Amino acid sequence: MVVVLKAKTSDEVIAKMVERINKMGIRVQVTKGEHQTILGLIGDTKSVDESRLHDEDHVEKVLKIQEPYKLANRDFHPEDTIVEVKGHKIGGGNLTVMAGPCSVETEEQIIEVAKQVKLSGANILRGGAFKPRTSPYNFQGLGLEGLKMMKKASEITGLPIVTEVMSDEDVDIVAEYADILQIGARNMSNFSLLKKVGRTNKAILLKRGMSATVQELLMSAEYIMSEGNKNVILCERGIRTFETYTRNTLDLSLITAVKELSHLPIIIDPSHATGKWKMVEPMSKASIAAGADGLMIEVHNDPQNALCDGPQSLKPEKFHTLMETITKLHSVI
């Protein structure tokens, strides 16, 4: 349920209304926009007597929300959420590019790539220290040592870090080094992990599961937000279909759907979506044209010898060309 207040309702009146609604056993999220204030009622609102809300002199209208996700719902928060990470704003018309190797392999590698993507205009350094792999025999990442290497690269370049956290017990250690905690596609429905990162003060990058609907994605975001963390960034990285030519099928329609249903920013990962480096640039341009808030791109200085996902990684010079193109495209859009 959403209570839309009339313009210029005072903070004192809002506080009294929140207190009264809390006494009904309902939590309230207050969202102050440029022209109006919205009270989002969270809990068992079926027991709330709407007439008691409509009678208020300061209430413009009361709306019922049918969708099961509340905090992630645009009705609760009409204005776009902007997630700020070390001075960089994600969402709200800003272009964000997260770039780096799939996996941290050596200190020299991650520092070199970090310097190159920073020079090309990337805002955030991506890299995997803990890697979920389909085969247990494949490279699983360097763990804590990989985090330390990323931290050093971050200190040298000034780029914030985004990296994946795979389990509840790793949240605290990853949060110690990273600025954005990534929830991978395979963990999108790991609800205990979602709750744990929801109790941190870190921005969360939530990747869509390979067979998840838009509602299921937003419900996963709701798990994080219900624990108090509102800094959630959604990520489309391709879904599983019958197509075998590409690694996954990039669903650009999700951008429009998310913009309509939610206020959370959404970025696109064309590297994992396609699995082919030649497709990364055209899909990146299509994503920006469709209204995405940013991109997550794999960049490796030696893709042929990469320990993970070399075929979908751009070389630094290719990434530089891509950045020039999408920066111009974004300014036009």
> Residue 109 has what pLDDT?
95
The strand pair at 96-100 and 180-183 is best described as unpaired
**What is the dotted CATH code of the domain comprising 2-63?**
3.30.70.1140
Neighbours of 265 (CB within 10 A): 27
CATH 3.30.70.1140 residue window(s) in the chain: 2-63
> Residue 56 has what pLDDT?
64
- Mean pLDDT for the stretch of residues 266-286: 97
Cα–Cα nearest to 315, from 274, 265, 271, 255: 271
How far, in Å, CA of 70 to CA of 328, rounded? 36
> Residue 87 has what pLDDT?
94
Q: What is the mean pLDDT of the chain?
A: 92
DSSP of 60-89, one letter per residue?
EEEE---SS--TTBTTT--SPP-EEETTEE
Q: How confident is the model at residue 133 (pLDDT cuts 50, 70, 90)?
A: low
pLDDT tens sequence across 211-258: 999 999 999 999 999 999 999 999 999 999 999 999 999 999 999 999
Between 296 and 15, the higher pLDDT residue = 296
Asked if the model's pLDDT at residue 313 lies above 90, the reply is yes
How far, in Å, CA of 179 to CA of 177, rounded? 7
pLDDT tens sequence across 8-32: 788 888 888 888 888 888 888 888 8
> Residue 13 has what pLDDT?
85
Asked if the model's pLDDT at residue 73 lies above 70, the reply is yes
Between 307 and 111, the higher pLDDT residue = 111
CATH 3.20.20.70 residue window(s) in the chain: 83-332
Burial 174-208 (b: 16+ CB within 10 A, else e): bbebbbbbbbbbebbbbeebbebbbebebbbbbbb
> Residue 197 has what pLDDT?
98
> Residue 137 has what pLDDT?
63
Burial 2-32 (b: 16+ CB within 10 A, else e): bbbbeeebeeebbeebbeebeeeebebbebe
Asked if the model's pLDDT at residue 55 lies above 70, the reply is no
> Residue 32 has what pLDDT?
82
pTM across the whole model: 0.90
> Residue 60 has what pLDDT?
84
Asked if the model's pLDDT at residue 34 lies above 80, the reply is no
Q: Is the CATH number of domain 83-332 3.30.110.60?
A: no
Q: Where are the alpha helices (DSSP H) in the chain?
A: 11-22, 50-54, 107-120, 144-157, 171-177, 191-198, 214-226, 253-261, 270-274, 277-289, 316-332
pLDDT tens sequence across 93-128: 999 999 999 999 999 999 999 999 999 999 999 999
Asked if the model's pLDDT at residue 270 lies above 70, the reply is yes
Asked if the model's pLDDT at residue 205 lies above 90, the reply is yes
Q: How confident is the model at residue 172 (pLDDT cuts 50, 70, 90)?
A: very high
- Mean pLDDT for the stretch of residues 155-180: 96
Asked if the model's pLDDT at residue 49 lies above 80, the reply is no
Contact 61, 4 (CB under 8 A): yes
Cα–Cα nearest to 61, from 1, 144, 137, 139: 1
